[in-house]
Amino acid sequence: MAAAADLPDGLVLDGELVVWAGEGMSFEALQQRAAAGHLSAPILAQELPAHLIVFDVPQVGGQEVLQAPYAERRARLEQLFTDHDLHAPWALCPETEDPERAQEWLTSWTRVPGVEGLIIRGTEQRYLRGARALYKVRRRDSTEAIIGGITWDAGPAADAHPGPLRRHRPAARGRAQHAAAPDRRAGAGRAPAVGGAGARVGGRALHGVVGGRGHRWTWSWSSRV
């Protein structure tokens, strides 16, 4: 908030708040700053300083410039940084019209943790509120999934009398570790232990349901491209 004193009145900036930690941007550190109380906030501000990477200016001097083409808004933004000698925690997002330079940025800058790629927009483009009017080019495509599994100890009459849930081991890269055939891969995650009556009740409730018709779990995939 103290850095806002460097800005003129009637100004609205559009950008992204980031926290630099180590050799990259840390979303976890940003969440930590956002959740800080009034006692810890000043301490974290010193330990985990935040920066605002600015890439647009919807309002200048109390007047909206939403209908002005992006090239004009960018010129105003650059002039603002020059006139007021803005520096950290303010950062003007770099920009280029050179495809070769953009390709070099996409290759080299995305090695930094937290930098995903480039944003492309037209020089004549107006500022569209509430709309995704920008084209984002990521260096890497990723798919996120939550995968769960249930196992239980089955005896000869398991179809009629399913056994209790088997003592779990950490899930590793989509495969389950079993006590009889352990491997050395790092665990990706694990659930709380289930034992005793809970294991027996869970085994009966899930038997014949998991993996078949009437599956009680909801599956959801999220792909970012």
Write out pLDDT tens, residues 132-141: 778 888 887 7
CA 138 to CA 37: how far, in whole Å? Answer: 35
CA nearest to 140, candidates 19, 224, 58, 69: 224
Non-local CB neighbours of 166 within 8 Å, separated by 6+ positions: 151, 152, 153
In the predicted model, what is the mean pLDDT of residues 50-63? 93
pLDDT in tens, 69-87: 999 999 999 999 999 999 9
In the predicted model, what is the mean pLDDT of residues 199-210? 58
**How high is the pLDDT of residue 82?**
95
**How high is the pLDDT of residue 25?**
86
Pairing of strands 12-21, 50-60: antiparallel
In the predicted model, what is the mean pLDDT of residues 34-57? 90
Domains identified in the chain and CATH numbers: 2-139 (3.30.470.30), 147-210 (no CATH)
Q: Is 77 exposed, middle or buried (0-12, 13-18, 19+ CB in 10 A)?
A: buried
Per the structure block, which two tokens stand in for 73?
């808004």
In the predicted model, what is the mean pLDDT of residues 37-59? 91
The pLDDT mean for the chain works out to 75
**How high is the pLDDT of residue 113?**
82
pLDDT in tens, 162-172: 444 454 444 43
pLDDT in tens, 156-197: 544 444 444 454 444 434 443 444 444 433 444 555 556 666
CA nearest to 87, candidates 14, 3, 154: 3
Q: What is the reported pTM?
A: 0.61
DSSP reduced 3-state for 88:
coil
